């Protein structure tokens, strides 16, 4: 803590930061620039700010909405519960379109889930064959890839991971790839061992097993 009225900035990042002095704590975060999008709606069109808007859909599940679900099986009319389905089918793609960056530089305007580590902060891309480094921001920082992955699966932001870390989530459609055209070149996987004319059997077995297990991830 400093003396006098000088303030100290605290918080994990610029977007989620506050200031504290010896006499006062200011918990007001910096305002986010608006991201307006206009939607056709009844009784009149409306414009919302994506920077300050969350779309929450509650209890649209088969038990409550499907004609063969639990409520229908006990005689409840599920027609009112199904009424929002078509409007949501029209609205959600519009929100997803405006929420997906078209270029890595646009990530500065989005919530990003970051992994702490020894490498340079920010994410690496390539654009037209040139390396591109983008400083990203967000309210969540993790030091464990699994926790960051779960945060992305729950819609808390964009993330950047190694391919092997997300292969299951992509296959099961818990995540989807964005900015694929800007992915950096793939890095080779190398196994380093002391040179010898005759390798120990356990070393050769390990190399063969690693090649067999890793090959599908990079083909």
Provide the 3-class DSSP secondary structure of residue 130: strand
Count of domains in the chain?
4
Choose one of 58, 73, 98: the last residue of a domain.
98
Overall pTM surpassing 0.75 (yes/no): no
**Residue 71 belongs to some domain of the structure:** yes
The single residue listed with the structure tokens 């509650």 is 58
pLDDT given for residue 9 in this prediction:
84
Clarify whether residues 58 and 117 are in a common domain. no
Clarify whether residues 26 and 40 are in a common domain. no
Clarify whether residues 121 and 75 are in a common domain. no
pLDDT given for residue 219 in this prediction:
62
pLDDT given for residue 149 in this prediction:
94
pLDDT in tens, the chain (219 residues): 444 568 888 876 666 778 899 889 998 877 777 878 888 888 999 998 877 777 788 888 899 999 999 999 999 999 999 999 988 888 777 766 667 788 898 888 788 999 877 666 689 999 988 999 998 888 888 989 999 999 999 888 899 998 888 988 998 988 989 999 899 887 778 888 887 778 888 988 998 998 888 877 666
**Residue 152 belongs to some domain of the structure:** yes
pLDDT given for residue 96 in this prediction:
67
**Residue 104 belongs to some domain of the structure:** no
φ/ψ of 9, rounded to 5, equals -80, 130
**Residue 85 belongs to some domain of the structure:** yes
Clarify whether residues 115 and 155 are in a common domain. yes
Q: Which domain holds residue 208?
A: 190-219
Provide the 3-class DSSP secondary structure of residue 113: strand
Residue 170 to residue 174: CA distance in whole angstroms: 6
Clarify whether residues 115 and 172 are in a common domain. yes
**Residue 204 belongs to some domain of the structure:** yes
pLDDT given for residue 5 in this prediction:
63
* Distance, C-alpha 33 to centroid of its chain: 20
Clarify whether residues 115 and 159 are in a common domain. yes
Clarify whether residues 43 and 60 are in a common domain. yes
**Residue 78 belongs to some domain of the structure:** yes
pLDDT given for residue 64 in this prediction:
92
Clarify whether residues 76 and 25 are in a common domain. no
**Residue 103 belongs to some domain of the structure:** no
Clarify whether residues 177 and 122 are in a common domain. yes
Choose one of 98, 126, 142: the last residue of a domain.
98
Q: Name 106's Cβ contacts closer than 8 Å, sequence gap at least 6.
A: none
Clarify whether residues 163 and 115 are in a common domain. yes
Choose one of 63, 98, 133: the last residue of a domain.
98
Clarify whether residues 118 and 175 are in a common domain. yes
- Give me the DSSP letters along 18-52: EEE-SS-EE-PPPPPPP-EEEE--SSS-EEEEGGG
* Distance, C-alpha 14 to centroid of its chain: 18
Q: Residue 90 belongs to what H/E stretch?
A: helix 85-98
Clarify whether residues 124 and 148 are in a common domain. yes
């Amino acid at each position: 803590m400093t003396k006098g009225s000088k303030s100290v900035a605290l918080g994990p990042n610029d977007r989620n930061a506050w200031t504290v002095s010896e006499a006062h704590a200011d918990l007001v975060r910096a305002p986010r620039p608006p991201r307006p999008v206009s939607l056709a709606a009844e009784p009149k069109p409306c414009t919302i700010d994506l920077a300050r808007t969350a779309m929450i859909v509650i209890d649209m599940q088969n038990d409550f909405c499907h004609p063969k679900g639990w409520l229908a099986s006990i005689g409840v009319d599920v027609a009112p519960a199904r009424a929002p389905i078509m409007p949501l089918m029209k609205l959600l793609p519009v929100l997803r379109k405006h929420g997906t960056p078209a270029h890595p530089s646009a990530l500065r305007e989005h919530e990003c889930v970051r992994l702490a580590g020894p490498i340079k902060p920010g994410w690496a891309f390539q654009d037209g064959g040139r390396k591109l480094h983008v400083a990203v921001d967000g309210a969540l920082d993790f030091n464990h890839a699994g926790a960051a992955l779960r945060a992305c699966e729950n819609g808390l932001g964009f993330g950047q991971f190694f391919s092997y870390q997300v292969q299951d989530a992509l296959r099961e459609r818990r995540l989807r790839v964005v900015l694929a055209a800007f992915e950096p070149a793939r890095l080779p996987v190398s196994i380093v061992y002391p040179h010898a004319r005759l390798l120990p059997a356990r070393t050769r077995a390990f190399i063969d097993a690693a090649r067999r297990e890793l090959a599908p991830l990079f083909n």
